[in-house]
Amino acid sequence: MAMVCLTDFEEYAKEHLPKATWDYYAAGADDCCTRDDNLLAYKRIRLRPHVLRDVSQTDTRTTVQGKEISFPVGFSPTAFHCLAWHEGEMATARAAEALNTCYITSIYCTCSAEEIVAAAPNGFRWFQLYVYRDRRFTEQLVGNVEKLGYKALVLTVDVPYLGKRRHDIRNQFKVPPHLGLKNFPAMVEVKKQDKEGYIIPQLTSDPSVTWKDVHWLQSITRLPIILKGILTKEDAELAVEHGVQGVIVSNHGGRQLDGVLASIDALPEVVDAVKGRIEVYVDGGIRTGNDVLKALALGAKCVFIGRPVVWGLAYKGEEGVREVLRLLKDEFRLSMALSGCRNVAEINRSLIQMSKL
């Protein structure tokens, strides 16, 4: 089967993964309205191409937090990669390294942070973080990933409690005991097990976390702090005031609060609010090179993909993830050229028009 678009990878993964695993990756919260709108929102945006621009040479490179990457698509943090491929996050890390892009490692990994670094020692990685009730554990984890060479902390801020994902409840979703949650070797509350030893994933981040905890994180690390889960101009302005280095406009792939804005619809007001003082990224619903172009035209510095990475893993492991990235990169380059953009700096809001579908 020729893989000519990301939907092909999605269909393969749906056919070959166990149902409970597929449902875990695919699920949204409640009625899945936000999950689905993340995709539909891109279809409401129309492109306004510019012609006669000499696009015989195009350059997809950009920078995030001062680091050059080959094109503006990175990996969002997604959990439990070993459920999709036996090498899990190590395969993901090698693919990101091979195509020189940013991989945000999930805190809920089935490979340890150390194993991921060993698998791709020259990779460009950020680390997803939650603040836990046990601040000592959080501090220990931050110190470890900083020592391992991770380049930023991505504090996920939209999970004071876990959203209601109906399929996971119906399937009684569990992580097999031979995999484990490698970043939590001593945390019984996170590694709650049933009588067969299966791990029942439980997010135990502290629901009392506030903006004061951002300052606390800044006091224990020299790493840049990126906030993931910003959807409003008010929170974007607060992020700037609290000295973070970037925000990811995200609704958690529609897996938390159902009925919120699609990420791409929330992006413009966040970009306008920060006024270039910090970098703004977006995730959720990116499936084509056109989507990448639209997000950058609306002000995103880079986009991040989640589910497509897992589909690539399910297809061919590391090589499958590489194929997903290469496909998106080729589509993005073509979209740039057909829109009259020779490099990323030429992408701006003049290229788009919002459409009412």
**Who's near 7: CB < 8 A, 6+ residues apart?**
287
Neighbour tally for 47: CB within 10 Å: 14
CB burial string 28-40: b at 16+ within 10 A, e below: bbbebbbbebbbe
Name the catalytic one among 16, 86, 167, 252.
Answer: 252
Active site annotation includes 252: yes
C-alpha span between 227 and 248 (Å, rounded): 6
Q: Which active-site residues does the annotation give?
A: 252
